[in-house]
Structure 1
Amino acid sequence: MKLLSVAIPCYNSAAYMKHAIQTLLTGGNDIEIIIVDDGSVDDTAKIADEYAARYPEIIRAIHQENGGHGEAVNTGLLHAKGLYFKVVDSDDWVNETALRKVLDKLRELVEDGQSLDLMLANYVYEKPSINKHKVMDYKTALPQDRIFSWNDIIFFKQSQHIIMHAAIYRTKLLKDCGLKLPKHTFYVDNIFVYHPLPYVKTMYYMDVNLYRYFIGRDDQSVNEKNMIKRIDQQIYITKIMIDDTDVILIKNKKLRNYMIKYLCMMMTVSSVFLIKENTEESLAKKQELWDYLEKANKKLYVKIHNRFLGRSMNLPGKAGRKIVEVGYKISRKIYGFS
């Protein structure tokens, strides 16, 4: 059995997907690479098939009608045979040295018979246009180099969240928890990391810079202009997450607090961009989102609203909108746009 399955969702990715594949190939036979061609109309399918033919023991190419990033991840997970599962977007890549260290540790834990639900490693914002990269780590939040539980969590900074790029989940856990991402929607990575969390009992954090997250393409979903343009999809994902789990009922206090913090971040990001758009329609959408939360889960609404960011998103007038800039800066850190 393969140690790690890596899904690469690809849509018209011919110009850059080879870099992602080549860096993952350094994992050798410990890895299976599942290239999911999501209805591309360029040479993506051809490149995927060429790699699958060249590395039949490592790479599989799967072709499907266009269903969006979430459906490509669903397909990758459906076909995954490895013990662990990771997603690497086609315009990103991994650091080869860090990948080897992560694989060695996973192999060690498996051979020792230790149960691990979630492996975490650092990710790096790569901005070649300005020759800049920024490492996002969890050294203040998580114990290092040992298996730990939610009770061992230290402290998450306001801009510090577990995101898809940092996560390697146990494949069976993802399948057993019923993870299913919506089609034709951006920002589904939030559901990918959020939904499985109540099922996670054991974690391991390595302070290695594994994932390289490319920032700079105009068509990226995290481009600020695109986030404003696609705000309805951000709102849609936020509502799915509100309805996903009644976090108030989660018994573990640290897990409960983290998931509330994550939802607070989602509410903040949506509110920030709706306020920045500053139209009658956008401000009405902001109010509707907060009303949705209150109606769906009154106790959760109170907890989020009473946090600083929650309150600041609902302050009236110019003073309130100035405070929103705090939320905007946090959003920049989370999503890496400039």
Structure 2
Amino acid sequence: MRLLPVMPNTACAKTITFGIPSYNAAADMDHCITSILEGSAYASDVEIIIVDDGSHDETPQKADEWEARYPGIIRAVHQENGGHGMAVMAGLREAQGVYYKVVDSDDWLDGQALSAMLSILRGFIERDLRVDLFISNYVYEKVHEGTHHTVGYRMALPRKKIFGWDEMGRFRPDQNLLIHSLCYRTDVLRDEGLPMPAHTFYVDNIYAYVPLPRCRTMYYADIDLYRYFIGREGQSVNEAIMVKRLDQQFRVTRIMMNSFHLFDDIESSRLRGYMMGYFTMMMAICSVFTKLSDEEGADERLKQLWADLKEFDARMYRHARYGVLGFFTNLRGRAGEKTTVGIYHMASKIFKFN
């Protein structure tokens, strides 16, 4: 595979920018920030941007204190509350790094894995190798249970080499590339922008889906870098919270739907297959949580979503609706609903995703 050279950029001395979206994060942000500082050995080519998203606690003051303590490494950005997506985009706008990675304020990075990642990224830059996407493992940290579960990509992605989409294998249902596993080149995210809606949860799915076709070269490091804290009360992936935010699931899924006619727009068959699988999962989530919801009109809105998909792209509709996942998440009648919900709960126990 032909590798594209990186054009020298003498104005940018930062290898990577870590954007930390922070809303009322005073209780958690110190651990997150410290993990990056210590894991990077306080390196001057690392940048941390704390985005205070209109917090009402001590987050703004703490962000400013961190900036004052580590000028040149940490910067604080303050904005009116716009939601997670707006905070991600604010960090991206300010980023000076060749690469950009999002770390939520209640999560953290493994120090040894971060050191390995930085060594690899620095090597790309020093050798003038353009790598659009760096992929690593992430770990579900269920702190209240004292358990953890690692999501890796050993059988799906080549290791220790730069590769293109046509060289990847098949992904299991629990192996989607989520925001936790992704580190993009900054210019990949900036070139065409990201359709991030304000005041909306689950926009990390847009972040992990829309930029993929812009990435021509990838590298997978089999390191457990991102530690994803899960199980906190009120967390967005909590089942009860997801049911209440069904409208936001619909909003994000529509944005993903309208981003691509997958069978026309995506050249690589393997990337197309992966993205079709990811999008099908999003439609399945909408279907399952509609069944769990007692919100008036939810069933009609789901029917409309499927109708809109059929009108937008009939081929995408057929793959999403009549594949195995689409079939078993849209069973009809009371017995069908119970079966669908039962399958979902069984899958959540097996794959440990919430």
TM-score (norm 1): 0.96
SS at match of 2:301: helix
Structure 2 gap segments, 5+ residues each = 1-12
SS at match of 2:67: helix
Structure 1 gap segments, 5+ residues each = none
Match of 1:3 among 12, 15, 40: 15
Task: Give the 3 Å change call, closer, same or farther, for CA 260–90 of structure 1 in structure 2.
Answer: same
Tell me the residue number matched to 1:243.
258
Task: Give the 3 Å change call, closer, same or farther, for CA 329–176 of structure 1 in structure 2.
Answer: farther
Is the contact made by 1:121 and 1:166 (CA closer than 8 Å) also made in structure 2?
A: yes
Task: Give the 3 Å change call, closer, same or farther, for CA 329–248 of structure 1 in structure 2.
Answer: farther
Q: Please tell me whether residue 42 in structure 1 is matched to residue 57 in structure 2.
A: yes
Q: Please tell me whether residue 112 in structure 1 is matched to residue 106 in structure 2.
A: no
Is the contact made by 2:195 and 2:255 (CA closer than 8 Å) also made in structure 1?
A: no
Task: Give the 3 Å change call, closer, same or farther, for CA 39–278 of structure 1 in structure 2.
Answer: closer
Q: Please tell me whether residue 336 in structure 1 is matched to residue 348 in structure 2.
A: no
2 CA distance for matches of 1:324 and 1:176? 40
Report the Cα offset of residue 111 of structure 1.
1.2
Question: Residues 198-256 of structure 1: CA distance to partner in whole angstroms, max 9, x if unpaired?
Answer: 11111111111000000122121111110000011001100010001111112210111
Task: Give the 3 Å change call, closer, same or farther, for CA 260–9 of structure 1 in structure 2.
Answer: same
2 CA distance for matches of 1:258 and 1:210? 23
Question: Residues 255-297 of structure 1: CA distance to partner in whole angstroms, max 9, x if unpaired?
Answer: 1111111100100111111112266633223222211211221
Q: Please tell me whether residue 277 in structure 1 is matched to residue 293 in structure 2.
A: yes
Counterpart residue type for residue 230 of structure 1: R
Tell me the residue number matched to 1:31.
46
Match of 1:171 among 179, 182, 186: 186
Equivalent positions of 1:116-265 (< 5 A) are: 116-249=131-264, 250-265=266-281
Match of 2:34 among 22, 32, 38: 22
Tell me the residue number matched to 2:326.
310
Counterpart residue type for residue 257 of structure 2: I
Is the contact made by 2:151 and 2:174 (CA closer than 8 Å) also made in structure 1?
A: no
- When structure 1 is superposed on structure 2, of 308-317 and 217-226 the one drifting more is 308-317
Residue identity (%)? 46
The number of equivalent residue pairs is 337
- When structure 1 is superposed on structure 2, of 42-51 and 19-28 the one drifting more is 19-28
TM-score (norm 2): 0.92
Q: Tell me which protein shows more helix as a share of its residues.
A: 1
Counterpart residue type for residue 124 of structure 2: L
Is the contact made by 2:35 and 2:111 (CA closer than 8 Å) also made in structure 1?
A: yes
Task: Give the 3 Å change call, closer, same or farther, for CA 329–117 of structure 1 in structure 2.
Answer: farther
2 CA distance for matches of 1:336 and 1:263? 17
Report the Cα offset of residue 324 of structure 1.
4.4
Task: Give the 3 Å change call, closer, same or farther, for CA 335–44 of structure 1 in structure 2.
Answer: farther
